[in-house]
Amino acid sequence: MRIVIMDGSAANPGDLDWKPFEAIGNVTAYDYTPSDKIIERASGAEVVITNKTPFTEEIVAQLPDLKYIGVLATGFNVVDLKACADRGITVTNVPEYGTFATAQMTIALLLELADKVGLHNTSVKNGDWVRSTQFCYWLEPLTELAGKNIAVVGMGKIGSRVAIIAEALGMNVLPVPHTLKDPAKEYTFAEASKKADVITLHCPLTEETKNLINKDVLDTLKDGVFIINAARGPLVNEADMAQALKSGKVAGFGCDVVSVEPMKEDNPLLTSPNTVITPHIAWAPKETRARLIEAAAANLRLFTEGKPKAEINQVN
């Protein structure tokens, strides 16, 4: 079996290996594949593994040997699922490899907004504490999170883990599941967002959730709210968020994702105050990436054994 890994350096920049896939077939791994090389590199392969390299209808139509596309991620929007289904190509993803790491990043973003560790570390390294006449100082207001309301939007594996950590910090969790099961304990998005001191997003990107945070919603929120997005960039209307940050309506916005990645030079968040932005690295701890590779290889191995859709995480 010929296996081609299209953009392996995202998950494995050299600190891991491809042995789980090498145990299944003959592996060729590319660090990155530009669009004009996709068909050339994938030709003749029965299996391709992709993270962000797109497989559109036009591309899969030119790959008659292709039987399987393994997405080395949870999101699979880079693959045309219908085109693959029409051609008998199985598409799989890895749905739950990054729960702990993404929850950890969510809390890291929140703590940075609350305690401004990076700002004060830079200040100290620049000599401000050495020159200080007082034993301590702070450059901007700091926030104690205990007793604050946090709306956790999306109560899947990641959102549930974030809720546990937030409760350990003494916060009041307002859970917002996709579908209300217990209205006495759960909230709609509209209910929770209006009560929240912090809103953190952990829902999938759908037509319903695209631009979930927009001007109309922002106008209904408490003044000085913190908002965190470690889910999908388009959940937030970035122009509306930039305006809310400039006006002070939103006291801080922390995100690990943006609407277009890599981030564009004209993204309004780049010049917005009170933002903490990381380059989509919630999934990047070595332990997390190793788990991802193992899980993606397990999908493929089970596929070769003829296991059913649910066992191989088939998405088409």
Q: How many CB atoms lie under 10 A from the CB of residue 229?
A: 27
How many residues make up the chain in this entry?
316
Q: Is 111 helix (H, G, I), strand (E, B) or coil?
A: helix
Domains for the chain: give ranges and CATH numbers: 2-96+285-312 (3.40.50.720), 99-277 (3.40.50.720)
Return d(Cα 298, Cα 174) in angstroms, integer: 36
Residue 20: its pLDDT value, please? 98
What three-state secondary structure class fits 190?
helix
Q: 37-84: per-residue pLDDT in tens?
A: 999 999 999 999 999 999 999 999 999 999 999 999 998 999 999 999
Output the pLDDT for position 304.
97
Instruction: Give me the pLDDT at residue 196, please.
Output: 98
What is the Cα–Cα distance from 273 to 172, expressed in whole angstroms? Answer: 27
**261 counts as catalytic:** yes
Q: Give the DSSP H or E segment for 242.
A: helix 238-247
161, 280, 289, 291: the active-site residue: 280
Give the strand pairing for 250-255 and 225-229. Answer: parallel
Cβ neighbours for 172, distance < 8 A, ≥ 6 positions apart: 147, 148, 149, 150
Angle at 262 between CA 240 and CA 12, to 5 degrees: 135
144, 167, 261, 311: which is the annotated catalytic residue?
Answer: 261
Q: What is the pLDDT of residue 64?
A: 97
- Residue 232 known to be catalytic: yes
Dist CA 20 CA 11 (whole Å): 14
Residue 70's H or E segment, with its range, is strand 68-71
Q: How far apart are the C-alpha atoms of 96 and 85, rounded to whole Å?
A: 23
Residue with tokens 């277009």: 260
Four-CA torsion 119, 120, 125, 131, nearest 10 degrees? 130
Distance of alpha carbon 12 from alpha carbon 288, whole angstroms: 11
Global pTM exceeds 0.85: yes
Provide the greatest CA pair distance for the chain: 73
What would the two tokens of residue 236 be? 């937030």
Q: Which of 232, 238, 289, 291 is catalytic?
A: 232
| Matching residue, tokens 């010049």 | 271
Q: What is the pLDDT of residue 126?
A: 98
Report the run of H or E that residue 253 belongs to, with start and end: strand 250-255
- H or E segment and range at residue 2: strand 2-5
Could you tell me whether strands 26-29 and 172-176 are parallel, antiparallel, or unpaired per DSSP bridges?
A: unpaired
Structure tokens at 156: 């899947």
Q: Measured between alpha carbons, how far is 102 from 100 in angstroms, rounded to an integer?
A: 6
Predicted local confidence at residue 193, as pLDDT? 98
CA 41 – CA 53 distance, rounded (Å): 12
pLDDT in tens, 169-205: 999 999 999 989 898 899 999 999 999 999 999 999 9
Q: At 70, phi and psi to the nearest 5?
A: -100, 120
pLDDT at 161: 98
Predicted local distance difference test score (pLDDT) of residue 271: 97
pLDDT at 293: 98
Ranges of the chain with pLDDT below 70: none
How far apart CA 10 and CA 182 sit, in angstroms, is 40
The two structure tokens encoding residue 293 = 């590779």
What is the rounded (10 degree) CA torsion for 108, 113, 114, 115? 80
In this prediction, residue 254 carries a pLDDT of 98
CB 293 within 8 A of CB 70: no
pLDDT score for 62: 98
